[in-house]
Amino acid sequence: MIPAHNLEMKIFTGNAHPALAREICDCLGVPLGDATVSSFPDGERFVKLNDNIRGRDVFIIQPTCPPTNHNLMEMLIMVDAARRASAARITTVIPFFGYARQDRKDQPRVPITAKLVANLLVASGVHRVLTMDLHAQQLQGFFDIPVDHLHALPVMVEYIRKLNIENLIVVSPDVGGVKMASAYATALGTRMAIVVKQRKSATETEASHIIGDVAGKNILIVDDLTETAGTIASAARILRQNGALDIYAGVSHSVLTDLAVERLKDSDLKELISTNSVPLRLAPGSKITALSVAGLLGEGIRRIHDDESVSSLFEVKKPK
C-alpha cells in the first residue's frame, strides 16, 4: 500500500458545518473539494464528488450535530461515494460525535446507539476517524479502525490564560466530569471543586451541594457538552449561593436549543466559552465566546496525511 503522505490530499464537506471546513482548508492551505450535496424532493440526500479522487487521501468533514440523523446519513453517503470512486483512504473528521451519550445499556431493552453509529461508519468504508472530546473516551474502542481523539483543552486554556482571572477554581458540574476538570485544573495550575447534581428530567437538573470551597473565588465550570444549559445554569446558581464571584463556563460542544439560549441569558454565568465544533447560535445577550478549533483539526488532518504522531497535539504549552 502506498504511504498516505505520497498521495494527494482531498478535503470535502457536507452541509453540517461548511464554514468550519473552509476555515480548516485555509489553515492547511489547500482548496476545499468540489462536491454537490443536495436533496431530492422527498428529502433523500444526493451526493456527487465533482473532483477526481481516484488514489487520493480523502478527508470528509461533518459534525453529526442537529439535525443529527440528517447529517449522519449525509456523511455515510459521502463516504460511500468516495469509496466507489476508488479513494485510497477515507478519513471522516467528526468535530462533534452525535449519539455519544448512548454508550451503554443503562435501562432494560435500550440500544447502544454509539456502537451502532461506529458500525455504520466502518461498514460504509471509513478507514480512520478524527474526532474531538468524545462524551466518553471508551467510545474509541467501539471502532475496529483507528480513531484519533483530539481535545479542545489546549485551545480553551490558551484563551482562559489571556483573561488573567485571579483566584480561579475549576469546577466539574457533576461527578462524571471530574477527570476533565482535573485536566483543566492541572493545565491552569489551580485547584478544583465538584458540584453534585440530580437529574429531574431530560431537560432539567438540580444542583444539590458542592464538594470544595468556592467562597470568594472566581469559577471556571468545564464540561464536554451542553444542549439545554440546565446543568451549567444550575451549577452556576448554587456556586453563586455559596459565595462564588465571577463564573465562567468552558464547554467543548455547545449544541444549544432555544431553551438553552434563554437559560444562558438569565443565568449567573459571566461568559460561556465554547468551540466552533458545531455552528453556534451567537444571539445578542447569549454570553457566548466562540473559539476556533480549525487550526487544531487542520493540524490533526495534516499529521494523519503525513503519517505523523497526533498525540503531541494534546500538550498544553506552558505560559511564558
Tell me if residue 197 is catalytic: yes
Distances (CA, A) of 82 to 1, 56, 123, 257: 18, 10, 13, 33
- Which candidate in 115, 162, 197, 217 is catalytic? 197
C-alpha 176/C-alpha 118 separation (Å) is 23
Distances (CA, A) of 288 to 14, 156, 163, 260, 284: 25, 13, 15, 11, 9
| Residues that are catalytic | 197
